[in-house]
Structure 1
Amino acid sequence: MPTFTSHDGAILHYDLIDDEACGEPLVVLAGGAARHPAYLGDLAGLSSVRPLVVLHQRGVGESAEAGPLMAWPELAHDVEALRRHLGGGQQDLLAHSAGTRVAFAYAASHPQHVRRLCLVTPPADYLVDVEDDSRAMVMARSDEEWFPAFAEAVPALEAASTPQEHRALAHLIAPLAWGTWDEQARAHEAVGDFYLDAAGAFFSAPVPEALAERLASCGAQVLVLAGERDALTGLKPVLAVADLFPRSGAVVIEGAGHYPWVERPEDFRSAVDPFFGTDRG
């Protein structure tokens, strides 16, 4: 597994998934927070047209923990070190879920180094001031078989304050992330371990001052992908993320939840391929 040395001397790992693809690498930031990036797979075959460089964030997978530098704003420094390791110049980024926090921090602090940025189902309630429609999306599914157990656990979910407590209840929340809670969804939920110490460290710092305003200085092309049925994030807050950037667009993947490359791989690729210059025609 390839490695690089970050700004503080830490040795960090990344997966290189290329399927003999040519062209510049696409740097991929996983979510979770602090979930092993194995859950991303090859992003519905995107690795066949762009080499994927999938970072193992500090404390996850093969990358060692590094104390106070594991909070999400600090992880942007690792993305910059990875850019330099890959040869410098502008880079393309794809980030999923909590990984979009790191992408936001990086785009705000190094806007000149980002050429294209794809944000897949980004949680955004901390960043945008729009109606959160996630609760309505949850209630619209109250007739599904998993809902009674979820509803009964809501007080415990609201009281959970640590990554360990949240993880213990994760099986009750999991259906919210899927357009259809079926065998495919259940199988995918088991892929990619969660690193709970790293998750706690990830959220240990506040949102950087004026983060949303600073994103307006990022001239990168930005694509926001939203899952039509993603009850974890809601739909309106995700779409509002596009308004934070001067050159942006948003695509809603119909029928999908938080993992559109799994549920709607063709629709996912139809949106992402032309954005990254890999239109399949």
Structure 2
Amino acid sequence: MPHNTSQYVSYDGANLAYRVLKAREPDADRPPVICLAGGPGRDAAYLGTLGGLDARHTLVVPDSRGTGASPPAPTPSGYAFPALAEDVESLRAHLGLDRFALLAHDAACATAQAYAALYAHRLTHLVLVTPGSRLQGELPGDAEEIFESRANEDWWVDAYVAAHSLPDTHDFAEARALLRRAAPLAYARWDAPQQAHAATEDHQLHPVPRIAFWQGVDDATRRAVLDHLRAATCPVLVVTGDRDAVTGMRAGELVAASFPRATVRPLYDVGHYPWVDEPEMFRPVVEQFLAS
């Protein structure tokens, strides 16, 4: 286990891992931020410092089951996002936090919504970064429109072929290769920082947690989560990117509409990883929200 990794005991007795990035400018009035990685099933290392968010906020970054330094779940149901939300609650109790801020990216936004549905009273703030809207039962087509609009870029043809081959592959090694080729569509540009960030994805993805994330979640469970969210009064910030060809922008609007107190903040010239494309734009937006 890496030297900077700690452990907590979750609801079922599992020892799960997390890292703490202590604020470089600590302030007792700023709540710690628990940060959930997406993928699903991707090591949390790809979050980095979220564009320097650790300058003013202590970040707690858990490794979800079967990723990073956390062991696999004993059954596939342990990887489903409602169960992962219970891991978050166990981490909160372990840290002795009465209330905290929760930030989630990509697929982990479903985990964060499941947490908010049951434990909104524990949240000071909720930040959802480039979420999809599968939990809302709708899949808008604007991500494909954003992708099509970038057809003049050098990487586009190969990425297009790879992205449209992914639904037909059932071999994870082949899927990894296709994801590598399709990677540019997730970023606003394909420069050195984006290429370096994308290069980490290969060894950070885990097939079982990825496949099982949505398994066992039926329509009744999904509707129950959405019903509870209508009573979640914590302030919510949904961040979207106008060049996000993975989840697009309309999904974020649907997610925000599930909450009574949500604000959508679109960022421009930004893709699926805002802290990589424009850290100096992303970080102040989140900091301002957390200070509100």
Match of 2:68 among 55, 61, 64: 61
- Which structure 2 residue ranges, 5 or more long, are not aligned? none
Q: Which residue of 2 aligns with 1:12?
A: 16
What pairs up with 1:44-193 in 2 under 5 angstroms?
A: 44-68=51-75, 69-127=78-136, 129=138, 131-161=140-170, 163-191=172-200, 193=204
Q: Which residue of 1 aligns with 2:209?
A: 198
Q: Which piece of structure 1 moves more, 153-162 or 137-146?
A: 153-162
CA offsets 1:156-215 (integer angstroms, 9 cap, x no match) = 223134655432310122111111122221110123511222222323232523132321
1:18 Cα deviation (Å)?
A: 1.0
Query: Which secondary structure does the structure 2 equivalent of 1:108 belong to?
Result: helix
Match of 1:238 among 243, 246, 252: 252
1:16 maps to a residue whose letter is: V
CA pair 2-96 structure 1, distance change in 2 beyond 3 A: same
* Residues matched between the structures, number: 278
CA offsets 1:125-166 (integer angstroms, 9 cap, x no match) = 441547421111111111111122133345522313465543
Q: Which residue of 1 aligns with 2:222?
A: 209
Identity of paired residues, percent? 37
Q: Provide the C-alpha distance between the structure 2 equivalents of 1:67 and 1:164, rounded to a whole number of angstroms.
A: 24
Q: Provide the C-alpha distance between the structure 1 equivalents of 2:128 and 2:164, rounded to a whole number of angstroms.
A: 31
Q: Is the 8 A contact 1:72 1:205 kept in 2?
A: no
Q: Provide the C-alpha distance between the structure 2 equivalents of 1:154 and 1:34, rounded to a whole number of angstroms.
A: 19
Q: Provide the C-alpha distance between the structure 1 equivalents of 2:171 and 2:106, rounded to a whole number of angstroms.
A: 19
RMSD: 1.9
Q: Which residue of 2 aligns with 1:40?
A: 47
CA pair 264-67 structure 1, distance change in 2 beyond 3 A: same
Q: Provide the C-alpha distance between the structure 2 equivalents of 1:130 and 1:213, rounded to a whole number of angstroms.
A: 19
CA offsets 1:239-258 (integer angstroms, 9 cap, x no match) = 22111111110111110001
Q: Provide the C-alpha distance between the structure 2 equivalents of 1:197 and 1:275, rounded to a whole number of angstroms.
A: 35
1:262 Cα deviation (Å)?
A: 1.2
1:10 Cα deviation (Å)?
A: 0.5
Q: Provide the C-alpha distance between the structure 1 equivalents of 2:6 and 2:41, rounded to a whole number of angstroms.
A: 19
Query: Which secondary structure does the structure 1 equivalent of 2:228 belong to?
Result: helix
- Which structure 1 residue ranges, 5 or more long, are not aligned? none
CA offsets 1:93-121 (integer angstroms, 9 cap, x no match) = 00011111110111112222222100000
Matched, 1:251 2:255: no
Q: Which residue of 2 aligns with 1:221?
A: 235
Q: Is the 8 A contact 1:128 1:240 kept in 2?
A: no
Q: Provide the C-alpha distance between the structure 2 equivalents of 1:226 and 1:234, rounded to a whole number of angstroms.
A: 7
Q: Provide the C-alpha distance between the structure 1 equivalents of 2:171 and 2:133, rounded to a whole number of angstroms.
A: 20
Normalising by structure 2, report the TM-score. Answer: 0.89
